[in-house]
Amino acid sequence: MVRNGDPVLLESAKICGAIRQHRLLQLTYGASGTRLVEPYCHGWTRGKELLRGYQLSGPSSSAAQGGWRVFRVDRIASVEVLASHFSALREDADTSSHEIDEVHCQF
């Protein structure tokens, strides 16, 4: 999956690894700052690479702090996979991934 050290592929590999291992992500997203996210689904819609996750903390310009979000991967400035795990699928999780047309990896 990672070819020639392409940063986009590296970030996708980190995201999918975190989803498979149920590990938290720390994202620097756009100009709004650092967010702590439980990652659930990664894929593409209309040529845009997306991450669907549950935001635990950090700023959000689109809605109240915390809750389900869809992040555009091209707006993520940095991704850190944390050692902390999340243990289960949230009760309010919509596993249909309706925002993502082509799923690459998911919880």
Examine residue 43 and state whether it is found in any structural domain, yes or no: yes
Lookup: tokens for 39: 């990652």
CATH number, domain of 101, equals: 2.30.30
Examine residue 22 and state whether it is found in any structural domain, yes or no: yes
Domain that holds residue 56: 7-106
User: Could you tell me the pTM of the whole model?
Assistant: 0.83
What does DSSP say about strands 48-57 and 102-106: parallel, antiparallel, or unpaired? unpaired
Domain count, the chain: 1
For the segment 73-106, what is each residue's pLDDT rounded down to a tens digit? 999 999 999 999 998 778 777 656 667 888 888 8
Cα 54 from Cα 38, distance rounded (Å): 5
Q: Check pLDDT > 60 for residue 107.
A: yes
14 Cβ neighbours under 8 A, 6+ residues apart:
25, 79, 81
